[in-house]
Structure 1
Amino acid sequence: MTLEGRLGGQVAIDVCAGCQAFWFDHPGKPSLPETLRCPRCATTLRLAHDLQGNMPFTYWRCGTDDGHFISFLEFLKEKNFIHRLSPEQIKELRQNVQFVNCSNCGASINLESNSACPYCHSAISMLDMKQPQRMLEQLKQAAQPRPLDPMLPMKLVSAKLGLETSLADHDRGPEWWSDAASSGLVWAGLNVVARWLSDKLVD
């Protein structure tokens, strides 16, 4: 998949559904084992640690700066779509489900005895359903200095209100609890977004 870059030019993105990860090409670089190697220069990718607010995330970067490789979950963390559950949220979760899958390693977490993954020690996290609304607000603000469409601010406000209402209808419904128990909290949130998009396409 090729998208327009923010600074001009195009950015190629490869998506691997099997390993649930993205590869982002850096602009100006030519297009695309046991050891993770850069598909451009074949050097070993180095594990990098970073922070988005107070949320740590990791990715693998090329030593010659050709690009970086990041899993779906870590990408969502980087873009601030994931947040750790508070003790109150974990308590609410325990009242509805006993087990959830770790969003990081996939292991089963017994909520009766654990408030984090006992295997990889990742915090119990979920998709932040308010982040799409915040992104729409940022897009609205970014459009103000040079709006391409005089109606764009009104359209963004309308989209924000519609998204807030629509996601609220789906969030914490029976399907959400079922998905949370079987697939984990992050995928439950992604399924909410998928159902919302499906409803919009039908409409």
Structure 2
Amino acid sequence: MSSVPSCPSCRQPMEVHRFASHAGPELELDICFACQGMWFDRHENLKLAPAAVVGLFKLLHEHREDQHLPLATSMACPRCVAPLQKGFDVVRSGRYMIYRCGRQHGRFSTFSSFMTEKGFVRHMTRPEIDDMAKRVGAIYCTSCGAPVDIRKDHACPYCRAAFSLIDPQAVARAMEGYAEAGARAKLHAAQAAPVDIGDALVALERDRTRAERERQKKAFTSTSDDDDSSITGDLLAVGVGLVWAMLKAS
């Protein structure tokens, strides 16, 4: 049995999870929740069955409050330790960043890049961005993961990607393209309830940081609970939560 591969970014052992494949045997995907990334051996990203995508959303939802590490500036292939080559792929739902092994062993993809690749995201509307900018100081770019000041930037200044959100209805439409008839009907029947994205971001980040603030209380508090300007909104976590709620209700 082969040893557990190391994460290309943080170099810690990745978790191995089994997922259904539409091409036959189960796939073993290597996942690092701390770096929010997955390693796909060659062409594995094209073999996931719809049931596997649902299972992946479940995993991401379970780990939505894990501590997240920034990606390393240089990464190594977990198979041959050769440097990974950074580049971009473009699909209908947008442009996303990818890290490939030059020896064709596979690719490292962030969770958000995988969601973009599969067509599970939609670009945020101008009113949504303006509304969020009033309450959230920054967001994590869904393409490259960098923190972006949404109050002054209208696109990610690092990768130039438009602000996007994992959208339950986009997930349903994308999965209908390759799901079995029963699964198509099930997803098609699921109606995502309207949600205020800004409120969802604020609520999520407050929950994630409340315990940390309480542990690190000082003699005075510089930011009150009513001030959201210090919050960095995680659009990926919010989108995963919305999709998982839809999948459970369907």
TM-score (norm 2): 0.58
Distance change (3 Å), C-alpha of 1:122 and 1:138: closer
**2:148 is the alignment partner of 1:102:** no
CA–CA distance in structure 2, aligned partners of residues 84 and 159 of structure 1:
21
2:168 is paired with a residue whose SS is coil
Output aligned runs, 1:133-148, within 5 Å: 133-139=172-178, 143=180
Q: Secondary structure at the match of 1:114?
A: coil
Number of matched residues? 179
Pairing partner for 1:47 from 73, 86, 107 = 86
Offset at 1:55?
1.1
Are residues 1:23 and 2:39 paired?
Answer: yes
CA shift at 1:67, angstroms?
Answer: 1.2
Separation (CA, whole Å) in 2 of partners of 1:173 and 1:70: 25
Counterpart amino acid of 1:82? V
Contact 1:85 1:124 in 2 (8 A): yes
Instruction: Trace 1:84-123 onto structure 2 (pairs within 5 A).
Output: 84-94=123-133, 97-103=135-141, 104-111=144-151, 113-117=152-156, 121-123=160-162
Counterpart Cα distance in 1 of 2:73 and 2:197: 42
Does structure 1 residue 5 correspond to structure 2 residue 21?
yes
Q: Which amino acid aligns with 2:196?
A: R
Residue from 185, 192, 195 that aligns with 2:242: 192
CA distance in structure 1 between the aligned counterparts of 2:160 and 2:145, rounded to whole angstroms: 10
Bigger relative CO (Cα 8 Å, ≥ 6 apart)? 2
The share of aligned pairs that are identical, in percent, is 22
Question: Structure 1 128/102 Cα, relative in aligned 2: closer, same or farther at 3 Å?
Answer: same
Matched, 1:82 2:130: no
For the pair shown, which has the larger CA radius of gyration, 1 or 2? 1
Q: Is the 8 A contact 1:62 1:68 kept in 2?
A: yes
1:188 offset after TM fit, Å?
Answer: 1.7
Code of the aligned partner of 1:109: D
Unaligned runs of 5+ in 2: 1-16, 45-71, 206-230
- Partner SS state of residue 238, structure 2: helix
Contact preservation (8 Å) 1:116, 1:124: yes
1:14–1:137 CA distance, 2 compared to 1 (3 A): same
Distance of 1:101 and 1:196 partners within structure 2: 23
Question: Are 1:172 and 2:190 matched, yes or no?
Answer: no
Contact 1:11–1:24 (8 Å) recurs in 2: no
1:120 deviates by 5.7
- Which string of whole-angstrom CA distances, capped at 9 and with x for unpartnered residues, describes residues 58-84 of structure 1? 211112211111111111111122232
Any stretches of 5+ residues in structure 1 without a counterpart?
A: 145-151
1:156, CA displacement in angstroms? 3.7
